[in-house]
Copies of this chain bind each other. A is one copy, B any other.
Amino acid sequence: MATRELSPSMFIGLDGDDIISFGSGQPDLPPPKEVYEILPEYRDFKYGLIQGQTNLREALSKQYPNSNADNFVITNGASEALDLTLRTIARMGNKNKNKVLVPRPYYYSYPNCVRFADMEPVFTDLVKGRIDFDDFEKKVKDCKAVIINSPSNPTGRVESVETLKKIEKLTCDLGVYVLSDEVYKDLIYVRENYLIEGPHVVTINSFSKTYAMCGFRVGYLWSLDQELVNKIIAIKTHTSMNTNILGQEMAYAATKVSRDFIDNQLKIWRERRDLIYNGLLNLGLDLWEPEGAFYVLPKVKNPRDFVLDMFDKYKVITYF
């Protein structure tokens, strides 16, 4: 019997009244209404700046310390921010040093994006869903970059601040690039987000999760490494040009929405987290309590069969 091909992408965009999706990280709650209020009068159509609209970058710069609009690039979602950053780093410095350290389990695009940039992913296995700093320290020395994702997709875990500070110092001392994917930074149940900083840190974020704007694909990267930012823009000039100007204007509208929107969302996500976590526990499944994002990762004996069965028999989408 031929092995049935299985990848998360086969489920992306699948929708319908009869399908229950616990698949892609897709909020079902809508974006703030302000995002749509700009639409009726919108009439722009020309190319925008490759780096992104000035109003949006200026608004974002107020959210990050020691920042100005030049430190940002607006991208086609966090995905393009990750892809462009890896492609750029691959072309900088020593081209034979091409390893990127990825904590495992990981968001499924990380190793693929690393490989598409002609770099080599190497892995550090999480212990109880958190980075094992000793293993991290050993492996990062050979690496050109490392990807950090806290809160994490798919574990739902939030890294300890102590570990993040040690990583900041170590990567700074070694001159290793840090790609910090913080797209779930506003969905944390246990503490405030800790913004990783450093001379070669690239923070990746998006409007997809905080503002439920997944389909509009507005992400961004922020870095105080201006040389790196400029090189990223130089690549984007040829590979996609500006990010959709209307998506950016909608994102700009989102930046002006009161913090209450995020707090209300978080309250709902927390109730759901409690429901599903306790429900799965009651079923006898072994899993971590999610501390952020909206994922649970129960241990399942044969995850491949589980995912296919859940879809074929119950029209419930899950990933493994």
Nearest chain B residue, comparing its CB with the CB of A47: B214
Nearest chain B residue, comparing its CB with the CB of A49: B13
- Identical chains bound together, number: 2
Please report whether the interface of chain A is mostly helix, strand, loop or mixed according to DSSP: loop
Give the number of residues in A that approach B within 8 Å (Cβ atoms): 53
A226 located at the interface, meaning its Cβ lies under 8 Å from any Cβ of chain B in the complex:
no
Q: In the complex the two chains form, what is the Cα distance from A95 to B114 in whole Å?
A: 18
Task: Knowing A215-B245, A238-B109 are in contact, say whether A26-B47 is a contact too (CB < 8 A).
Answer: yes
Binds B, one of A34-42, A57-65, A121-129, A305-313: A34-42
Contact call B42/A241, Cβ cutoff below 8 A = no
Q: In the complex the two chains form, what is the Cα distance from A77 to B76 in whole Å?
A: 11
A87 located at the interface, meaning its Cβ lies under 8 Å from any Cβ of chain B in the complex:
yes
Nearest chain B residue, comparing its CB with the CB of A118: B118
8 Å CB interface, A150-193 against B? none
Contact call A46/B15, Cβ cutoff below 8 A = yes
Task: Knowing A80-B240, A240-B83, A246-B247 are in contact, say whether A9-B109 is a contact too (CB < 8 A).
Answer: no
Residues of A within 8 A of B (CB): 7, 9, 12-13, 15, 24, 26, 30-31, 36, 39-40, 42-50, 76-77, 79-80, 83, 87, 108-109, 112-113, 116, 118, 212-217, 233-235, 237-247
Instruction: Using A83-B238, A83-B239, A109-B238 as known contacts, list a sample of 11 further A-B pairs with CB atoms less than 8 Å apart, ordered by residue number in A.
Output: A7-B237, A13-B242, A36-B42, A44-B215, A76-B80, A79-B238, A112-B238, A113-B239, A216-B244, A244-B244, A244-B247
